[in-house]
């Protein structure tokens, strides 16, 4: 089997879809699947590709970053047409459209992973551009896809709500444990830290988090809120202004960090918090749990298992609920917090390993190509 993944960017700064795609591709290769990734080179000199492996097929960066039109990408698809199956990642970019258009000509199967881009909250961003894009090409591409990949039941429901009736495989994103040291599960002494990690953009709902933090200062005055990441300048300014207005002096903004520095800060956290309005998966939740860090996540994320597996809290993201949950977390006995971390670690190791996810994706590919032995994670209407 020979598979081509296409994605607009595999730069470090591109965020979640890049990490998910890399983990999946490396997992498939370990399963002896021949996989390549077609993508653009990075534009920003502060950015870099997440991998220099031979499976990375790099074309010149687009001159039109919003849409990503690339003659080089188009020509590469035409020249290299010996794949059995094509798998596009994300929407609204030329890489997915070019793949869809060309695969129709080849009469070969095409899977699309929307990566949360059909969620209602995601559709509100640049709403009018997306409406025009749907009319011009995106809806046609979606209707002509062979099948879809969703990372959660929630995402599958949003795909169905868009009027798409093709088969949908519900397969979570996988976590690569190889570079993550097994947690020691030692009790932490001194100041407790709760951290957010991700893009600083309105959909992350950080203004509610800051207000919630300020409302329980009887417990947060001996703790620190660490906000890890970078994002939209206007939104960052709003968050900083809100922090100053509320006279909070125990919120630390780290800016964008990666590698060992990011790991060091993550490992200092007592809890991770993700108060997003919407997330199709929330890789940072899994990345925290595999480090033995319990998580507070909003019901805008698909992480009900935080409640059912008793490794955190899955709650509404209004200010009152967030403040009550923060207070509850900071008052948890340290022995109990460590036990929560152990349960979270076991959950990710059992259900979200890249080996398990890659095997499921391979079963999905085989079913698409042969229509034999339908896996139980595939939904058909």
Sorted by where each begins, the domain ranges of the chain are 2-174+353-379, 192-351
Which tens digit of pLDDT belongs to each residue from 166-178? 999 999 999 988 8
Contact indicator for 113, 99 with CB cutoff of 8 Å: no
| Rounded Cα distance, 55 and 33, in Å | 11
Assess if CATH 3.40.250.10 describes domain 2-174+353-379: no
User: What would the pLDDT profile of 314-356 be if each residue is shown by its tens digit?
Assistant: 999 999 999 999 999 999 999 999 999 999 999 999 999 999 9
Let me know how long the chain is.
Answer: 381
Query: What is the distance between the alpha carbons of residues 350 and 371, in angstroms, rounded to a whole number?
Result: 28
- Asked whether the predicted pLDDT for residue 64 surpasses 80, the reply is no
pLDDT band at 275 (very low <50, low <70, confident <90, very high): very high
Tell me what the mean pLDDT of segment 190-215 comes to.
96
39 and 56 Cβ atoms separated by less than 8 Å? yes
Would you say the CATH fold of 192-351 matches that of 2-174+353-379?
yes
**Cα–Cα distance for residue pair 206/274, rounded to 1 Å:** 9
Residue 54 has a pLDDT of 97
Query: What is the average per-residue pLDDT within 278-299?
Result: 95
Fold of the CATH domain 192-351: Rossmann fold (3.40.50)
Residue 66 has pLDDT above 80, yes or no: no
Give the residue-averaged pLDDT of 55-80. Answer: 89
pTM of the shown model: 0.90
Indicate the angle between helix axes 319-330 and 206-215, nearest 10 degrees.
60
* 68 confidence band (pLDDT: 50, 70, 90): confident
Higher-confidence residue: 181 or 273?
273
Q: Closest Cα to residue 173, out of 111, 115, 91, 86?
A: 115
Q: What is the mean pLDDT of residues 13-17?
A: 81
**Helix 354-370 crosses helix 16-30 at what angle (to 10 degrees)?**
80
Examine the pLDDT at 29 and tell me if it is beyond 80: yes
One DSSP character per residue, 162-190 reads TT--S-EEE-PPPB--TTSPPP--PPP-S
Q: Predicted confidence band at 102 (pLDDT cuts at 50, 70, 90)?
A: very high
Distance, in Å, from the CA atom of 133 to the CA atom of 110, rounded to the nearest integer, reads 20
pLDDT band per the 50, 70, 90 thresholds, residue 45:
confident
Question: What does the alpha-carbon distance between residue 85 and residue 4 come to, in Å, rounded to a whole number?
Answer: 7
């Amino acid at each position: 089997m020979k598979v081509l993944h296409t994605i607009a960017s595999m730069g470090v700064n591109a965020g979640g879809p890049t990490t998910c795609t890399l983990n999946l591709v490396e997992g498939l290769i370990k399963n002896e699947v021949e996989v390549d990734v077609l993508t653009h080179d990075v534009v920003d000199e502060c950015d870099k590709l997440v991998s220099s492996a031979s499976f990375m097929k790099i074309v010149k960066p687009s001159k039109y970053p919003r849409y990503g039109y690339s003659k080089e990408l188009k020509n590469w698809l035409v020249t290299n047409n010996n794949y059995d199956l094509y798998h596009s990642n994300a929407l609204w970019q030329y890489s997915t459209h070019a793949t869809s258009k060309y695969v129709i000509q080849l009469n070969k199967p095409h899977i699309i992973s929307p990566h949360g881009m059909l969620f209602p909250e995601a559709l509100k961003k640049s709403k009018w551009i997306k409406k025009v894009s749907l009319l011009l090409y995106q809806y046609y591409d979606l209707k002509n896809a062979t099948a879809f990949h969703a990372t959660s039941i929630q995402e599958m429901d949003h795909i169905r709500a868009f009027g798409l009736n093709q088969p949908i495989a519900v397969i979570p994103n996988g976590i690569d444990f190889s570079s993550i040291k097994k947690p020691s599960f030692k009790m932490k002494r001194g100041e407790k830290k709760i951290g957010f990690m991700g893009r600083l953009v309105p959909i992350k709902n950080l203004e509610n988090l800051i207000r919630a933090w300020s409302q329980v200062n009887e417990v947060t005055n001996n703790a620190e809120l660490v906000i890890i990441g970078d994002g939209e300048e206007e939104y960052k300014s709003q968050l900083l202004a809100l922090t100053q207005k509320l006279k909070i002096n125990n919120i630390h903004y780290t800016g964008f960090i990666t590698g060992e520095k990011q790991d060091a800060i993550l490992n200092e956290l007592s809890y991770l918090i993700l108060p997003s309005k919407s997330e199709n998966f929330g890789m940072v939740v899994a990345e925290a749990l595999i480090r033995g860090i319990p998580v507070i996540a909003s019901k805008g994320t698909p992480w009900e298992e935080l409640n059912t597996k008793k490794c955190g809290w899955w709650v509404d993201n209004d200010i009152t609920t967030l403040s009550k949950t923060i207070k509850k977390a900071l008052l948890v006995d340290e022995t109990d917090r460590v036990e929560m971390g152990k349960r979270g670690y076991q959950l990710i190791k059992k259900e979200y390993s890249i080996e398990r996810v890659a095997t499921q994706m391979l079963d999905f590919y085989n079913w698409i190509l042969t229509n034999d032995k339908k896996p139980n994670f595939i939904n058909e209407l």
